[in-house]
Amino acid sequence: MCLENNDALATLDSSSPHRPCCFLFEQSTKNVGLSYLAPQREKFIHRNGGHFSLMVTGAFNCGKTSFINTLFNSDLAPVESLSSINSNDDSSLGLTNPLTSLKILNIELIEDGVPLELNVIETPGFGESIDNQCSWIPLINYIEQQFNFYAFQEEQPERNQLVDSRVHVCIYVIYPSNHALLPLDIISMKELNEKINLIPVIGKSDCLTYEELNNFKKIIKNQLIENNIEIGKFILDQSLKSKLTSQIPYAIINSNEKNQLIRKYDYGIIEIENSDHCDFASLRNLLITENMLDFIESTEYYYESHRSNCFNNRLKILNLPINENEDGLHQYLKYHQLNYQSYQRKINEIDPILDLKQKQLKDVFAIVVSKQENRFKEWKKALIEKQDELNADIAKLHTKLIGLKEIIYLLESGTPADEIDSNRTSLAQYYTDDSINDDESFRGISSSKSETHFFSFQ
């Protein structure tokens, strides 16, 4: 054994009192057994097994279920056996249903005596509805729920039987369009990447030629960079991180033969594990053979980040001052002084689904109001037209009345019948001229235009 730095204890930096000094056990000396830590860990995992939770989402009908079965080379996920945990039906409200349902499969796999408790979460029909702007929300809600569920268990007095349902990796299947990512893909991946290890893959990549596939991979990579989607941000192992960055998006092809990793066509066969045919083998190595524990480890960082945001938020929502120097116990006490209901109410106020429904109801209301306004406008127009018609009738009657009054006047003044026609024109002018309406000689047969409206022939 050799002490690499003999003066280490004496010269220990006082500003970092917990920094350990380094001892190096040389080959020549008899070691104390630290190198057996790895086999110890192996034994531990052999005994206790592992637990892995995988979410598979993305473009509908692009081979999500087939991928799960191909990945574990068995018929794990016949769609009917998956239990639905979330179905939202707002059709009674007349609203479009933008939500996705999740299906979960819990299964225990054993290989060479090593058990693995596997959770697979699939999202059949993701992005299938007309309005998909919120399709990603149920996925985020589910991931956060599992974090909250874990945090809640940690707060309990007994913690030796923790149920860990936190999701470790999300495979996001992209439609092999060879154009660009859809807005739904971008927003979903952006949101998921904030919460979880995200791995984008191109589904059914046998639908593209090699050239198209390489081109599409470049487009996707650029779009991920443009949208600040940094894959594996909490992966500590830098070599793994750079492997991930260089290999995404993985192009996958799924098997269509029972227990065989091949895809058969009339004209030939694709070997799923052959790296010249697709990236399935690299992805499986990454997920299972080589880096499963890395993903499980980095999930702790996502969990920590969620947990700290969550606890900070509940203080913020309640308008509690956050004092950086205050310890957790004080923050906890403050939180519990406040009414849980007011917290819940405020959470509802910022619930994006509620917000969306409110917007949809406002839109429906605006449509109803504008329809009613149009109806009123049409009624008003019809009434004005009717009024104009009546006014025209009144004007005609008025002219007729003036003519009749003229004849009466001429007859009463003893004008001979043959002269009446020639006098009528000048008299008509006289009666229709408002300036002479006050003339005494014509009182009693008033022809004022305004009075005419009330004139009765009876």
Ligand X SMILES: Nc1nc2c(ncn2[C@@H]2O[C@H](COP(=O)(O)OP(=O)(O)OP(=O)(O)O)[C@@H](O)[C@H]2O)c(=O)[nH]1
Q: Which helix (H) or strand (E) holds 67?
A: helix 64-71
Is the CB of residue 154 less than 8 Å from the CB of residue 145?
no
Verify binding: residue 65, Mg ion, rule CB under 5 A.
yes
Residue nearest to ligand X (CB): 63
Burial class (CB in 10 A: 0-12, 13-18, 19+), 215: middle
Smallest gap from Cβ 87 to ligand X, in A, equals 14
Positions in 379-418 near ligand X (CB under 6 A): none
Binding segment for Mg ion (CB under 5 A), chosen from 18-26, 59-67, 128-136, 355-363, is 59-67
Buried b (16+ CB within 10 A) or exposed e, 27-41: eeeeeeeeeeeeeee
* Minimum CB distance to ligand X smaller for 129 or for 256: 256
Stretch that binds ligand X, among 7-15, 58-66, 316-324, 449-457 (CB under 6 A): 58-66
Q: How far is the CB of 102 from Mg ion (least distance, A)?
A: 11
| Cα atoms found within 13 Å of the Cα of residue 439, Cβ hemisphere only | 13
**DSSP helix/strand/coil, 109:** strand
Residue 138 contacts which entry, Mg ion, ligand X, none (Cβ below 5-8 A, type-dependent): none
- The DSSP H or E segment spanning 402 is helix 352-412
The phi-psi region of residue 372 (left if phi > 0; otherwise alpha if psi is between -120 and 50; otherwise beta) is alpha
Beta strands at 83-84 and 23-24: parallel, antiparallel or unpaired: unpaired
Q: Is the peptide bond before 200 cis (omega within 30 degrees of 0)?
A: no
Identify what 103 binds: Mg ion, ligand X, none; CB under 5 to 8 Å per kind.
Answer: none
Residues 103-132, mask of contacts with Mg ion (x by CB under 5 A):
---------------------x--------
- 210-269 residues in contact with ligand X (CB under 6 A) are 253-254, 256
Residue 62 near which of Mg ion, ligand X, none (CB within 5-8 Å, type-dependent): ligand X
Q: Which of helix, strand or coil describes residue 202? A: strand
Residues contacting 186, CB < 8 A, separation 6+: 223, 227, 229
Smallest separation, CB 275 to ligand X (Å)? 16
Closest distance to ligand X from the beta carbon of 206 (Å): 5
**132 scored as a contact of ligand X (CB under 6 A):** no
297-309: string of b/e by CB count within 10 Å (b at 16+)? ebbeebbeebeee
Q: Of 52, 63, 231, 249, which one interacts with ligand X (CB under 6 A)?
A: 63
Site string for ligand X, 107-126 (x = CB under 6 A): -----------------xx-
Binding mask 65-104 for ligand X (x = CB under 6 A): xx--------------------------------------
Interactions with ligand X, residue window 161-190 (CB under 6 A): none
3-class secondary-structure state, position 198: strand
Residues that bind ligand X (CB under 6 A): 60-66, 124-125, 204, 206-207, 253-254, 256
